[in-house]
Amino acid sequence: MKLYQRCFSLVMAAALLASPCQAGRAAQVELSLADSITLAITNNYDIKYAQAAKEKSYWALQEAKKNKGVSLDYTHTDQRYNTPPSVTSPEYLYTTNFDNQLALSLPVYSGGKLEGQIEQAKLDLQVADMEVEAAKQQLKLTAVTDYFTVLEYRNEVQVNQETVKNYTEHLSLVQAKYDAGLVDKSDVLASQVDLAQARNSLLKAQNSYANAAATLNNDLGLPHTTEVVLKDDFTYEQFSGSLEECLAYAAGNRPEIAQYEAKVASARQEVKIAKSGNLPAVDLTAEQDWYDSRLPGSKNSNWLVKLTTSFNVFDSGVTKSKIKQAQHSVAMVRDKAAQQRDEILLAVRQCYLSMTEAEQRIDTNKVSVVQAEENLMIQKARYEVGVSTNLDLRDAVLSLDSARKDYIQAVYDYHTSKAQLEQAMGMPVE
């Protein structure tokens, strides 16, 4: 998947660079829904931030592990000092000393503090890793929503264009009847108002389409002026899973639920770290020293090996306070995890119900469009022979416009609700 993303990004970049750079001419890019998702995951800043945070957590883990290992320090000291006069030496004595020291230290036992910090770092890395997956799922939802929003407004523009065409043809028919003295001037004026309103709706839809395309470009990391040509169209495929299956899947796969489980485990490690204050700490130290009065100071040699055990006998209750804070942090994170789980399962339920409701509207509105188209044909024929009124034909045009837009809205709602459901369930991004 990563190789495909890199290759696809290179191809897209080449296409943009190869496109004409004339003033006022935007680059044109053909995009499928899958292409849009890949671009969003490759270029969006949110995923880059999450991946950088994961890398940071990885190196934090390495640091925690190294704190438990051997440390070797080298120190070189140059000093010159004087000694005041004394009974045995009536004059100031000046001394020059050069010292070189190697010091090796190893924590033998920390009361579980270092081990707890390592486990915490491991859990933080798990949280960061799942944050990357959660970011991918959110970006997929954003890309799908943006894509279908562009499709929605594109189809709405087409519907408005058809409505303008119908009102234009109707106005011509009314004008001809008026010129023949068959209808009143009010019929012409009413038809002109309908046509003007239809044109206004078309302008609004065109503006909404342009804004939706710019939003899609922005979320995909493309220049805002890129002219996107969408390969996919509104298609309807029934969702096969039941609500119970979706809820069960979310409980076991949603990254945020797993993240909070790791956070609870990390909080428990914090209790372990706090309790280490009541246990002894043992450190091994080995030193090798060279010194003399001439640079670099390497003649005289001495060494030291020591094992130091320290134990906190009394700290006025500081360690106890830390333990209590850590224990309450566990309770806080555990409660937050339960709340997060409930919110996720509620979101799954709401998205599923919204999807099925939109699915039912698709079938209903599809029938309404067919009926509205047939009704418009009948009303046109009736009006031409003078059987129906101008209002009947205007209402028929308006009904068809409304039915088509209701159908577009239902399909859009279905696809976006389905995308929201998949994100709420924690379905992986392939």
What does the pLDDT look like over 245-286, one tens digit per residue? Answer: 999 999 999 999 999 999 999 999 999 999 999 999 999 999
- Residue 47 falls inside a structural domain: yes
What does the pLDDT look like over 238-247, one tens digit per residue? Answer: 888 899 999 9
- What integer is the mean pLDDT of 92-105? 92
Contact (CB, 8 A) for 8 and 38 = yes
- Residue 99 falls inside a structural domain: no
- Residue 305 falls inside a structural domain: no
Secondary structure (3-state) at 140: helix
Cβ neighbourhood burial of 379 (10 Å; 0-12, 13-18, 19+): buried
Residues 410 and 404: their CA atoms lie apart, in Å, by 10
- Sheet with strand 71-83: strands edge to edge: 71-83, 93-109, 281-292, 300-310
pLDDT at 236: 81
What does the pLDDT look like over 100-118, one tens digit per residue? Answer: 999 999 999 999 999 999 9
As a whole number, the mean pLDDT across the chain is: 91
Residue 11: pLDDT above 80?
A: no
Q: What is the CATH number of the domain that holds 263?
A: 1.20.1600.10
Residues 198 and 193: their CA atoms lie apart, in Å, by 9
Residues 167 and 194: their CA atoms lie apart, in Å, by 7
Q: How confident is the model at residue 26 (pLDDT cuts 50, 70, 90)?
A: low
> Residue 425: which of 341, 345, 342 has the closest Cα?
345
Residues 360 and 286: their CA atoms lie apart, in Å, by 78
Question: For residue 133, what are the contacts with CB-CB under 8 A and spacing of at least 6?
Answer: 255, 428, 429
- Residue 378 falls inside a structural domain: yes
Residues 393 and 296: their CA atoms lie apart, in Å, by 105
Residue 167: which H helix or E strand, with range?
helix 113-179
Residues 236 and 411: their CA atoms lie apart, in Å, by 7
Contact (CB, 8 A) for 300 and 290 = yes
Residue 411: pLDDT above 70?
A: yes
> Residue 406: which of 361, 371, 372, 345 has the closest Cα?
361
Domain of 253, in residue numbers: 2-70+109-278+314-425
- Residue 274 falls inside a structural domain: yes
Output phi, psi for 233, to 5 deg. -130, 180
Contact (CB, 8 A) for 234 and 155 = yes
Q: How confident is the model at residue 25 (pLDDT cuts 50, 70, 90)?
A: low
pLDDT at 17: 41
- Residue 286 falls inside a structural domain: no
- Higher per-residue pLDDT: 66 or 9: 66
Question: For residue 211, what are the contacts with CB-CB under 8 A and spacing of at least 6?
Answer: none
Check residue 109 and give left, alpha or beta (phi > 0: left; psi -120 to 50: alpha): beta
Q: How many CA atoms lie within 13 A of 422 on its CB side?
A: 20
- Residue 76 falls inside a structural domain: no
Helix pair 113-179, 185-220: axis angle to 10 deg:
160
- Residue 97 falls inside a structural domain: no
Q: Count of domains in the chain?
A: 1
Q: How confident is the model at residue 27 (pLDDT cuts 50, 70, 90)?
A: confident
